[in-house]
Structure 1
Amino acid sequence: MRFLSAVLLCALPVFGETVTLPGLRDSVEILRDKWGVPHIYAKNQDDLFFAQGYVAARDRLFQIDLWRRVGTGQLAEVLGEKAIARDTLARAVRYRGDMAKEWESYSPDTRQIATAFTSGINAYIRSLKQRPHEFAIAGYDPALWAPQDVTARIAGLLMTRNLNNEVRRVLDIREFGLPTVERYLKPDPPIRVEVPKDLDLRDVNDEILAVYREATGQVDLSDVANQGSNNWVVDGTMTTTGKPLLANDPHRPVLIPALRKTVHLVGGGWNVFGAGEPALPGVALGHNESVAFGFTIVGIDQSDLYVERVNPRNRNQYLYKGEWKEMEVERQTLRVRGQQEPVQIELRYTLHGPVIHEDRKRNRAYAVKWVGTEPGTAGYLAGIALARARNWKEFSAAVDRYKVPSENLVYADTEGNIGWWAAGMAPIRPNWSGLLPVPGHTGEYEWAGFRRTEELPHVYNPDKHYVATANHNVLPPGYSIPLGYEWALPFRFIRLDELLREKPKFSLEDFKRIQQDVTAEAARRLQRIVRAWEGRPAEANQLLAWDARLDRDSVEAALYSAWANHLPAAVFGRKLGARVTLLRTFEELDAKPNPKALRRSLDLALADLARRLGPDRSQWRWGRLHTITFRHALGIEEFSRGPVERPGDGTTINSTSGGDYRQTNGASYRQIVDLADWDRSVMTSVPGESGDPASPHYDDLLEEWASGGYHPMAFSRKAVEAATVEKIELRPARSLN
C-alpha cells in the first residue's frame, strides 16, 4: 500500500495546467483555492456546466460513478448478484413519464444544463489514459453518462421515509395493540391511528421491510430517522452589521469522499457559491449576488403503501373496484458481474405504482404510490431554479418547482428581507391519514391531487425577526392541513430557539458558536426528573452537578448517554422500549415517577460503560466512546480515516448521531452566510473536497471540521485570487476541418 500511495502522489496536478477538451465553445478558467474549492469562470452557461461536470469527475469520479449506477439500476454490473434487488427497485421507481415535462418542471433550461454537465463528465472520462486507481482496484471502467442520469429517483424515495414507518406501525399494532400504540407511539401532531377499512393487518409483515432494506442497502432504520438538519436566519435588526445572517448545516451520513461538493459558478448569468451533490449540476444551498438560501428536511408525507389483492389464478392481475385489472409488466435484462448471461427481471406496476414485494402465499402485492412518479421530482435538481432567484418573489416562484425532498427552505436577501417556506409536493388524502398502508382493491384510498404551494406554511419578514428549523414540527398554531405526522424530536430546536433569544445582536462568530453547541436539552430533561428522585445515588448527583454539555472530555456526558440509552427499556420493557422515543420516556416519568426504572437503567449504564471503557471511571470520557470512522467504499484501510473523537449526540445542535454510541450522521457541510459582505461568509465540509486519495484535498478539512473550525467562502474575484493555489485553463479542441 505504501508503494501505491507513492505512485498516486506522483500524479498530483501542478500549479498551472492547460487542458484541451472537445465540447467546449470557449475557454474556461478554474481557480482552485487552498481549501480545494473550484471557482469556475466561463463565458457562457453551457461551458460553465460543462466545466462543473469536468471538475466533478476529476475530483469524485469513483463516487459519482457508483451513485449513477445506484440511481439507474446498474450496480450489479460491478458488484454482482448481491446488487440485483437494489437495481430492480431503482429501475422500478425511475421516472417513466413525459421527459419534456420532466425537464421543464425544474427550470426551462434544465435539459440544456444537464446535457452540458454530463458532457463535461464524459469529457474527463474520455481523456483518461488508464483506469483511475479506485477503478483499477475494483476491476472495472467508469461508464459514460446521459443527461437523464441526473433525474434518477431512488434517492428521493429513500428520503420520503414514510414507507418504512407505515409498515413498522402495523407491526407495532400487531405486537403491542392499538391502544398502546396510540398512547406511547403517538403521531405528531396527535391523531387517532385508525386502521383502514378492509385492511387485514396480517397482510403486512416484516418481509416487506426485509426486501426493502435489501434493495436499498439500509441495515438500521434508525439511521434514516436520525438524519436531520438545522437552519436559521435572522434579519438585520438582530445582527451587528445591520444585514441578515443565514446558517445551515444539513445532516446526512458523514462519508469519505464527502457527501457534498462545494463549487463557485460564474458566467452565463450565474454567480453562485454553495454546495450540492457532486453528481448533480448547480448547488442545493448557498448564495448568489442577491440571495442566500438553505434547507432542512420537513416532514411532508409523500408516499403510501398499497396492499393489492392478486388473482390466485393469474399473478399478473389485481383486484380493483370489483374487477381484475392487468398489471403492467416490464421485462428488462441486467448485466451481472460474474455471470456470462444477462439476468432477466420483471418490473410490475399497478395503477398505484411499482410493486416492491409480493406475498404469493397470501396472494398479495405491495405497491408504492409516491410523488416521484410526477415530473420534476428528482432530489435537489430544482436547486437550479433556487440558485438564480434575485428576490423573494422569484424565490417563491422557484419554491413552486421544488418537490423532492420536502424541505424547510430559508431565505435572506441583500435588501434585508428574510423568509421561510415548507416546500415539497404534498398529496391530498381526502379520507385517511397516511399513517398505515391502505387496501388497494377498494378504490377508496386515492390521492386527490396535491396542495398548492401557497397552502404550505411560509413566512416573510416575521415579527420576531428570525426563523429557525431543525426538522421539528413546524406547523403553525391553528394550521389545519394534514401534511404529515412524523417529525424529529424537538430537542435541537428548543436549544436553538433558546440561543436565538439569548442576546439582542448576533455576529458571525456567535453563529459559529451556535452551530457548534453541544448543550443537550434532552440531558436537562433527565436532570429535572433525577432531581425529584429521593434517595438518589451518588452517580445521579454527579449528573445533577453537570452543565449538560456533551464535550469529548466529559465523564458526565458518557454517563448521561449510557443512562438515556437504557432508560426506555427500563420504563417500558425491552420490546416497547426499543420503539418509544426518549421524549415519550421523559413524559412518562414526569407523569409517573419510577425510581426503580431509574435505578435499573443507571445500573445497566454503569455496567455498560465499565465493559466498554474499563473500571476506572475517571477515564470514562465521552470522546472515547463516541467516535466517527470514515470508511472508504472499497474497504481499503489506507483510504479510510479515523476514528475521530466527537462531541454532541443526535439531540444537540452540533448533531452527531448514530447507533451504538458512534457517529454515522451529522453535518456533512456547514455554511454561515453574511449578507453584509459575501467574502466574510464561512463554511466547512468533511473530510475534503476531493475523492482522490492521492490529492492533498482528500482529507485536509478533517481536522478543521473535527475542531469546530471554518474557512472563508471567497466570492469576490479579489478574494478568490488571493486564496488560489491552482489554476486550470480548459480550452476547446478546434476542429481541423
Structure 2
Amino acid sequence: MPLPGEVVVDGLHDDVEVLVDRWGVPHVYAAHRRDAFVAQGFQAARDRLFQIDLWRRRGLGRLAEVFGARHLEEDRARRLFLFRGDMEREWAAYPEGTQEVVTAFVAGVNAYVGWALEAPEERLPPEFASLGHLPARWAPEDVVRIRTHGLFYNAEQELARALTVRDLGTEAEELRAVREPGGPLDVPGPDVLRGLGDEVLDVHRLACGPVGFAAAGSNNWVVSGARSGTGRPVVANDPHRAVTVPSLRYLAHLEAPGLSVIGAGEPHLPGISIGHNGRVAFGLTIWPIDHEDLSVHELHPTDDGRYAYDGGWAAFEVVEERIAVAGADDAVVRLAFSRHGPVVHVDPRTRTAVAVRAAWLEPGMAPYLASLGYQDAADAAGFRDALAHWGAPGVNQVFASVDGTIGVQACGRVPRRTGWNGALPVPGDGRFEWDGTLPFEELPGRLDPPSGWATTSNQYLPSEAGVVTTDWYSGARHERLAAWLADDDAVDVDVDVDVDASLAMQADVVNTHARRLLERLADLDVPAEVDPWWQELQAWDGVEDAGSRAALIAQIWLRRHLRPWLVDRCLERLGASADPAARGRLVREDTLFSDLRPDLRMVDLLDDDPALLADGVGVTLRAAVAEIEDRLGPDRATWTWGALHRTELRHPVLGAAGSLPAVPRPGSGDTVGLSGHDAEFNAVMGSSFRMVVDVGDWDRSRVVNSPGQSGDPRSQHYADLLEVWADDGSFPLLYSRAAVEEATTDRLVLRPR
C-alpha cells in the first residue's frame, strides 16, 4: 500500500527510517532497538496484512467469527492445540527479552491496522472487502499461544505404520516406508492397533492443515574459505515449503544500536531466522524430530469421561469454550484432554479414546521464535550457544562467522523415550511415558569439520544422545549435495563452492534415485513394443529439465504405473491382503516430497524373477505412454516435463484478479532443486525463497523470494520476482548503507506520537 512520506506510529521512542529497495526489501534504521521491531511489525503489516490476519484467526480458532458456521469444526480443532499453560513460564522459556520484542512487533502491526482502518476502502488489502470483514488487533500472547503453524512430526507416520502392520504385517511395512535406524519393528501395544482407523487423526488434520501449509523440507550447506575459492565462507539455504501467493517468507533488514540483522523470517514473527548479522551467517533445514505420540486410552466400561491409567481410572479434563459465529448465535464447544494431551478421537464401540501427546504444546515451543536469541550473536560459538534455547521445529543450523569458523548444529527439544522409540501408537495407561528431553550438548553438531564443508537435507542423522525419530526424508538430495561438496568426480560441476556455484546447485535437478532404479532394471529383456521408450529412459542422464521428454516419461511411469504394479506383486509374494485402503498406503502419494527407497526395496524383493519384472516394465511403460498421450496429445514433439509440470499461483480469495500466470518447472520431489506437485501437476512445493551469503563481503550475497515481497495485488512488489524465480535467478541482498541508498525506491519515516 503506498504511504505518505511520514506516518505517526504509537509506541515509538524516536523517528525510524524505512528504505525500501527496488526488490521490495525494507531496510529499517532506528535509534532504539525496540523501535526497530515496532517498525518491522508495521512494515510486515503494510506488505502482508491479510496473510498475517488470516494466520492469527486460523491459529486462534477464530475463523467462524468472520466466515460463519462452516468453520466451526476447524476452530474447535485448533483450540484443542493452543498453548494453554502458564504465560509466565511460557515467556521465560524463550531467550531473554523475547516478550519485549514480541510486544514491540505487535505494537507495530496494530499501529498499521489502526492507520489502515482510518480509510479502509483505500488502505486495506482488497481481500477484506471481498470477504466482508476487518483486520483484528493483536495481543503479544497471540504469537506464542498459536502452535499449529509449525512443522511437527510424526503422528501421521505412526498411524500409517500402525494400520499397515495390523492389516498387512511388518514385512509389508518395510515396503511402505524406510525406518532409520532400522532393525526389527517392536509393536509395544498390539491390542491398541485393533480399534484404529484413518479417521483417528481427522481432528489433528483439521488443526494443522489449511488455511495454510503442507509438509516441508530444505537444503542448506556451509563451506570454509578454502573450499569457496574466495578465502571467505559461504552459507546457502533454500527452505522447501508450499509455493504460494503471497510467499511464506518475508525479507527485512533491521539496524539499531546493538542490532544489525538481515534476511528472512515469517511475516507474523519478529526478527530474522535465516540470514546474517554482519558477524555470523546462518541457515536452517528441518530436522524431523518425533514431536508427537499417539496415546490410545482404554475408556471406563460405563463412563466415557474416565480412562485407564496406572492401575486406576483418571478423568479427562473438559473445557467448554464459546465461539462467535458470523450470522448466527455463539456456539459452545467441548474440548477434552487426557494427561497426554488433546483428545482427538473417541470410539464408544471399542471403548477407546486417542490423544495426541505433542512436545510442541509445552512452554517455549512457538515455532521459530527462539531465533531471537541469535540476532546479535558475536561469533560462531555465541551463535551455537544461542541454539540451546531452540524449541521448535527441530532444525539443523549451518553457520559461519567472519573469522572463518564454520559449523553445523542440530537443535530442538527431543522427548526421551526409555525402552520405546515412538514409531507406533502406544497404550496410554502409564507404561509409555516421556522422561524429559535429550540434552542439547549431546545433539549432533560440529565446528570446523575437517572436510571444510557441511550440508543437511532432512536426511538420516545419527545421534549419540538417542533416537530422535525413525522417520526421515529420502537421502537423494543429500547424496547429490555431499558428492558435489566433496568434489566427487561423478558430479561435473565447479570445484569452488562460491556464491554463483551455490546458486546453480540450488537449482540442480538431477534425480539420483530415479537413475539408480533404472540401473537396477537395466539388464531386463523388455517387450519389443516398449523398447524404444525403454532405451530412451536408459540413456537419460537423470536431469529433470522442463524441456526433457525422458523426465516426463520417468515421472509418470515410476509413480503412477510402476509403483502400483510393484506393490501388487510384492503383496502377492508376501501373501498379504489386497485390501484397497491397506494397499493404498504402500502405493503412497509422495509427489510433494518423494522417496523412491521403498520402490528400490520392492525391486530387490522381486529381483529373483527377471521375467516377471520385464513383463511389469512392459505393461506399466505402455500404460504410462498412453497416459501422456491422453494428457498432452499425440504430437510427441510437445512431450516435455514442463508442458505438464507447471507452477500456477492461484489466489485463494480473489481468484483470477490475484492469480499469476503458470510457469514451467523443472525438477521434482527427488531433486536438490525440489519442485513437488499436486494431483493436477501444479508444482506447489519447493524453494520460493533461496539465499546464498558471502560471509564478510555481505553485499555480494544473493537472494530471491517469489512471487514478491508484498501480498497486496495492487503493489508493484506483488509479483515482480516471479520471473526471476522461475528463471532460477536472484538479486543482491544489500547490507551496507551505501548500497541500500543506491537501490532505494521508497522512503518512509515513522514518527512517534
The TM-score range, normalised by the shorter chain, is over 0.9
Alpha-carbon distance in structure 1 between the residues aligned to 2:723 and 2:175: 45
Q: 1:387 aligns with which of 336, 361, 375?
A: 375
- For residue 664 of structure 2, what is the aligned residue in structure 1? 645
Alpha-carbon distance in structure 2 between the residues aligned to 1:256 and 1:185: 32
State whether residues 199 and 438 of structure 1, in contact with CA within 8 Å, keep that contact through their aligned partners in structure 2: no
- For residue 520 of structure 2, what is the aligned residue in structure 1? 529
Question: Is 1:138 paired with 2:131?
Answer: yes
Alpha-carbon distance in structure 2 between the residues aligned to 1:615 and 1:202: 50
Q: 1:556 aligns with which of 550, 553, 557?
A: 550
- For residue 684 of structure 1, what is the aligned residue in structure 2? 704
- For residue 193 of structure 1, what is the aligned residue in structure 2? 185
Structure 1 residues 127 and 224, CA, compared in 2 at 3 Å: closer, same or farther? closer
State whether residues 185 and 579 of structure 1, in contact with CA within 8 Å, keep that contact through their aligned partners in structure 2: no
- For residue 143 of structure 2, what is the aligned residue in structure 1? 150
Query: Aligned partner of 1:618: which letter?
Result: A
Runs of 4+ with >4 A deviation: none
Question: Is 1:329 paired with 2:322?
Answer: no
Structure 1 residues 345 and 13, CA, compared in 2 at 3 Å: closer, same or farther? same
User: Which stretch of structure 1 is more off in the superposition, 382-391 or 108-117?
Assistant: 382-391
Structure 1 residues 113 and 219, CA, compared in 2 at 3 Å: closer, same or farther? closer
Structure 1 residues 596 and 693, CA, compared in 2 at 3 Å: closer, same or farther? same
Query: Aligned partner of 1:232: which letter?
Result: W
- For residue 495 of structure 1, what is the aligned residue in structure 2? 480
Give the structure-2-normalised TM-score. 0.92
The within-5 A match list for 1:102-251 is 102-128=90-116, 129-131=118-120, 132=124, 133-155=126-148, 159-182=151-174, 185-197=177-189, 199-217=191-209, 224-225=214-215, 227-251=216-240
Query: Aligned partner of 2:454: which letter?
Result: V
State whether residues 231 and 249 of structure 1, in contact with CA within 8 Å, keep that contact through their aligned partners in structure 2: yes
Query: What is the deviation of 1:100?
Result: 2.1
State whether residues 569 and 576 of structure 1, in contact with CA within 8 Å, keep that contact through their aligned partners in structure 2: no
The within-5 A match list for 1:457-536 is 457-475=444-462, 479=464, 481-502=466-487, 504-535=495-526
Query: Aligned partner of 2:46: which letter?
Result: R
State whether residues 279 and 696 of structure 2, in contact with CA within 8 Å, keep that contact through their aligned partners in structure 1: no
Q: 2:386 aligns with which of 398, 412, 421?
A: 398
Question: Is 1:61 paired with 2:49?
Answer: yes
Tell me the alpha carbon deviations over residues 34-70 of structure 1, each in whole angstroms, 9 at most, x when there is no partner. 0000000111122111111101111110000000111
Tell me the alpha carbon deviations over residues 533-564 of structure 1, each in whole angstroms, 9 at most, x when there is no partner. 23460111112222221111111111111111
- For residue 16 of structure 2, what is the aligned residue in structure 1? 28
- For residue 595 of structure 1, what is the aligned residue in structure 2? 614
Alpha-carbon distance in structure 2 between the residues aligned to 1:513 and 1:673: 14
The within-5 A match list for 1:250-329 is 250-329=239-318
User: Which stretch of structure 1 is more off in the superposition, 492-501 or 118-127?
Assistant: 492-501
Structure 1 residues 186 and 192, CA, compared in 2 at 3 Å: closer, same or farther? farther
User: Which stretch of structure 1 is more off in the superposition, 167-176 or 35-44?
Assistant: 167-176
- For residue 93 of structure 1, what is the aligned residue in structure 2? 81
What is the CA RMSD across the aligned residues, in angstroms?
1.9
Query: Aligned partner of 2:137: which letter?
Result: L
Q: 2:538 aligns with which of 537, 541, 544?
A: 544
Query: Aligned partner of 2:278: which letter?
Result: E
Matched residue of 1:638: which SS? coil
Question: Is 1:570 paired with 2:565?
Answer: yes
State whether residues 567 and 602 of structure 2, in contact with CA within 8 Å, keep that contact through their aligned partners in structure 1: no
Question: Structure 2 stretches of 5 or more lacking a match?
Answer: 488-493, 569-582, 590-594
- For residue 586 of structure 1, what is the aligned residue in structure 2? 600
State whether residues 147 and 361 of structure 2, in contact with CA within 8 Å, keep that contact through their aligned partners in structure 1: no
Q: 2:673 aligns with which of 651, 654, 678?
A: 654
State whether residues 174 and 598 of structure 2, in contact with CA within 8 Å, keep that contact through their aligned partners in structure 1: no
Q: How many residues align?
A: 713
Query: What is the deviation of 1:184?
Result: 5.0
Query: What is the deviation of 1:687?
Result: 0.4
Matched residue of 1:400: which SS? helix
Query: Aligned partner of 1:667: which letter?
Result: S
Query: Aligned partner of 2:535: which letter?
Result: N
Give the structure-1-normalised TM-score. 0.94
Alpha-carbon distance in structure 2 between the residues aligned to 1:522 and 1:306: 36
Alpha-carbon distance in structure 1 between the residues aligned to 2:526 and 2:130: 61
Identity fraction in percent: 40
Tell me the alpha carbon deviations over residues 625-649 of structure 1, each in whole angstroms, 9 at most, x when there is no partner. 1011212121521101122110100
Question: Is 1:427 paired with 2:421?
Answer: no
State whether residues 135 and 141 of structure 1, in contact with CA within 8 Å, keep that contact through their aligned partners in structure 2: yes
Query: What is the deviation of 1:312?
Result: 4.1
State whether residues 34 and 723 of structure 1, in contact with CA within 8 Å, keep that contact through their aligned partners in structure 2: yes
- For residue 592 of structure 2, what is the aligned residue in structure 1? none
Alpha-carbon distance in structure 2 between the residues aligned to 1:308 and 1:294: 41
Tell me the alpha carbon deviations over residues 340-370 of structure 1, each in whole angstroms, 9 at most, x when there is no partner. x110011211111111222222222211111
Question: Is 1:708 paired with 2:728?
Answer: yes
Tell me the alpha carbon deviations over residues 666-712 of structure 1, each in whole angstroms, 9 at most, x when there is no partner. 00211000013000000000100001100000000000000010000
Alpha-carbon distance in structure 1 between the residues aligned to 2:82 and 2:205: 18
Alpha-carbon distance in structure 2 between the residues aligned to 1:468 and 1:280: 26
- For residue 699 of structure 1, what is the aligned residue in structure 2? 719
State whether residues 430 and 447 of structure 1, in contact with CA within 8 Å, keep that contact through their aligned partners in structure 2: yes
Alpha-carbon distance in structure 2 between the residues aligned to 1:85 and 1:193: 36
State whether residues 19 and 26 of structure 2, in contact with CA within 8 Å, keep that contact through their aligned partners in structure 1: yes
Alpha-carbon distance in structure 2 between the residues aligned to 1:186 and 1:245: 33
Query: Aligned partner of 2:663: which letter?
Result: V
- For residue 83 of structure 1, what is the aligned residue in structure 2? 71
Query: Aligned partner of 1:583: which letter?
Result: R
Alpha-carbon distance in structure 2 between the residues aligned to 1:171 and 1:219: 28
Alpha-carbon distance in structure 2 between the residues aligned to 1:694 and 1:184: 47
Alpha-carbon distance in structure 2 between the residues aligned to 1:91 and 1:214: 11
